Amino acid sequence: MRHFLSSADVTVDEQRALIARAIDLKQSRAALARPLAGKSVGLIFEKPSTRTRVSFEAAIFELGGNAIALRSDELQLGRGETLQDTGTVLSRYLAGIVMRTFGQDRLEEVAEMATIPVINALSDMEHPCQALADVMTITERFDDLSQVRLAYLGDGNNVCHSLLLAGAKAGFAEIRVAAPKGFEPIEPIVEMAAQIGEETGCRIEVTSDPSAAAKGAHVLYTDVWTSMGQDQERDTRLKAFEGFQISNDRLAEAAPDAIVLHCLPAHRGEEIAGDVIDGLQSAVWDQAENRLHTQKALLEFLIGSRRRSPRK
């Protein structure tokens, strides 16, 4: 029984196999495999969601399973039941739990007592399902990942953390993160990515210079500058991130065949120019679609073939 709480929770070979399977599932979407037939998966959402919720519900349905969407205020969590008890009880009903929450510790508490796989559908620390779709999208566009230079411009947040780990496992040539001082990815994640990169040939760099990061890059990636729960910091963040927008000028610094990625939702005119996200070099909509296919591969891997274990 396996959990997927972090991009670190799969090996290099397992991530490669998940991406390959996701590509197969995308190409043969009309020929529905049903490895989740007769199984239900619970989706606990403590934060708003568009792509994550819809793609997971569609993925579970297309794999033959039943998705049960749950808001935290609809559960006894809202009345003080512990996360450990919730994980224990849901394990007796479900084949897996998908959870979108705040602190990474909340996922870990559910996983501690769950006897079924728990999947991180976003926490304040990581967004590993997004990173799988990111790697798949890049794999579709470039033949040799070992030559790909990726530049992430903006907040060193949960998306950046998972991208560092998954990109290092994918064996990109280089991942450059450009973030203003005080907004860098946390050091333990950077160190872990660098250690993975020593094995896969991926170089990790963190800088405060967006132009240097973008120069010659094959992939330009960004996320919103103000994430959920940071609204009170909006004015401060907009000032701090001046100069970090993926604009046409920034895109001109990248490689001629560069693609642009954004995990969405996007604030056009802030972290990315409208004519860039909607332009010919944008792969954002393929990236969004690929959430479905990578999550199908992940659900199949974690849940599809497993037998029910004895309950606690």
Residue 70: give its domain's CATH number. Answer: 3.40.50.1370
Contacts of 24 (CB under 8 A, 6+ apart): none
| Residue type present at position 11 | T
**Residue 42 falls inside a structural domain:** yes
- Same domain for 85 and 209: no
For the chain, how many structural domains are there in total? 2
**Predicted confidence (pLDDT) per residue in 8-60, tens digit:** 999 999 999 999 999 999 999 877 779 999 999 999 999 999 999 999 999 99
183 is written with which tokens?
């907004």
Q: How far apart are the first and last CA of the chain?
A: 14
Phi/psi of residue 49, each to 5°?
-160, 140
71 is written with which tokens?
């808001």
Rounded to an integer, what distance in angstroms lies between the CA atom of residue 133 and that of residue 123? Answer: 17
**Residue 311 falls inside a structural domain:** no
- Same domain for 19 and 150: no
Query: pTM of the predicted model, to two decimals?
Result: 0.95
Rounded to an integer, what distance in angstroms lies between the CA atom of residue 304 and that of residue 302? Answer: 6
**Residue 62 falls inside a structural domain:** yes
Rounded to an integer, what distance in angstroms lies between the CA atom of residue 213 and that of residue 230? Answer: 26
**Residue 281 falls inside a structural domain:** yes
**Residue 48 falls inside a structural domain:** yes
Q: Residue 97 pairs with which residues in a beta bridge?
A: 42, 118
149 is written with which tokens?
């230079």
130 is catalytic: yes
Catalytic residue among 15, 130, 287, 295: 130
263 is catalytic: yes
**Predicted confidence (pLDDT) per residue in 59-70, tens digit:** 999 999 999 999
- Same domain for 55 and 172: no
- Same domain for 116 and 81: yes
- Same domain for 139 and 43: no
Catalytic residue among 263, 287, 293, 295: 263
212 is written with which tokens?
């240097």
- Same domain for 268 and 138: yes
Q: What is the DSSP letter of 221?
A: E
Catalytic residue among 3, 100, 250, 262: 100
Q: pLDDT grade, residue 309 (50/70/90)?
A: very low
291 is catalytic: yes
Q: What is the DSSP letter of 143?
A: S
75: Cα within 13 Å, side-chain hemisphere: 20
Domain that holds residue 261: 130-288
- Same domain for 136 and 281: yes
**Residue 204 falls inside a structural domain:** yes
**Residue 250 falls inside a structural domain:** yes
**Residue 1 falls inside a structural domain:** no
- Same domain for 198 and 86: no
Cα dist from 66 to 45, 96, 120, 241, whole Å = 16, 11, 18, 42
Catalytic residue among 51, 106, 127, 262: 127
- Same domain for 134 and 77: no
Rounded to an integer, what distance in angstroms lies between the CA atom of residue 298 and that of residue 292? Answer: 10
- Same domain for 281 and 143: yes
**Predicted confidence (pLDDT) per residue in 247-263, tens digit:** 999 999 999 999 999 99
Catalytic residue among 155, 223, 262, 295: 223
- Same domain for 275 and 218: yes
Residues 171-189: what's their mean pLDDT? Answer: 98
Contacts of 83 (CB under 8 A, 6+ apart): 77, 106, 109, 110
- Same domain for 26 and 104: yes
